[in-house]
Amino acid sequence: MSPASWGRRPRVVDVAVIGCGIVGLSIAFQLRRRGLSCLLIDPRGPAGDASHGNAGAVSVGNLMPQSTPGMILPALLGLRDPLAPFKLDAGAWPHYAGWLWRFLRAGSAARLAPIVDATHALNRAARAVWLELADAIDAIDLISPTGYLHVYSEDAGFERSARARAHMRRNGVAFDVLDAAQLRELEPGLAAFTRHGVLQRDSLFVREPGEFCRRLFNWLCARGADTLIASAHAIEREGEGYRVRTSGGDAHVDQVVVAAGAWSGELLRPFGLRLPVAAARGYHAMYPRQEGVVRRPTLWAERYMVVSPMRSGVRVTGFKEMSAPGRPARPALIRGLAPQARLLFPSLAGQPVSDWAGLRPCTPDSLPILDRVDDERIFIATGHGHLGLTQGPISGELVAQAMAGEAVSVPLAPYGLARFGRYARA
Per-domain residue ranges of the chain: 3-51+211-273+366-424, 69-111+143-204+277-362
Picking from 71, 64, 62, the residue whose alpha carbon sits closest to that of residue 100 is 71
Angle at 23 between CA 273 and CA 324, to 5 degrees: 55
Strands (E), 220-341: 226-228, 232-238, 241-246, 249-258, 278-287, 298-300, 305-310, 313-323
Note the pLDDT of residue 5.
Answer: 35
Please write the tens of the pLDDT for every residue from 204-229: 999 999 999 999 999 999 999 999 99
Q: Give the chain's residues under pLDDT 50.
A: 1-9
Q: Which ranges in 86-141 belong to alpha helices (H)?
A: 93-106, 109-136
Note the pLDDT of residue 4.
Answer: 35
Note the pLDDT of residue 426.
Answer: 65
pTM of the model: 0.95
Please write the tens of the pLDDT for every residue from 108-155: 999 999 999 999 999 999 999 999 999 999 999 999 999 999 999 999
- The DSSP secondary structure of 334-403, one letter per residue, reads HHHHTTHHHHHSTT--S---EEEEEEEEE-TTS--EEEE-TTSSEEEEE-BGGGHHHHHHHHHHHHHHHH
Report the alpha-carbon distance of residue 396 to residue 133 in Å, rounded: 11
Decide if 285 contacts 338 (C-beta within 8 A): yes
Query: Residue-wise over 184-200: b if at least 16 C-beta within 10 A, else e?
Result: bebbebbbeebbbbbbb
Distances in Å between the alpha carbon of 214 and those of 21, 106, 218?
A: 9, 35, 6
Note the pLDDT of residue 2.
Answer: 34
Report the alpha-carbon distance of residue 278 to residue 285 in Å, rounded: 23
Note the pLDDT of residue 10.
Answer: 53
- Cβ-defined contacts of 166-170 (< 8 Å, 24+): 167/63, 167/64, 167/113, 167/116, 167/120, 168/61, 168/63, 168/200
Picking from 380, 389, 337, the residue whose alpha carbon sits closest to that of residue 360 is 389
The CATH T-level fold of domain 3-51+211-273+366-424 is FAD/NAD(P)-binding domain (3.50.50)
The CATH T-level fold of domain 69-111+143-204+277-362 is D-Amino Acid Oxidase; Chain A, domain 2 (3.30.9)
At residue 321, what are phi and psi to the nearest 5 degrees? -105, 110
Note the pLDDT of residue 149.
Answer: 98
Q: What share of the chain is helix, strand, coil (3-state, %, to 5)?
A: 40, 25, 35
Decide if 311 contacts 208 (C-beta within 8 A): yes
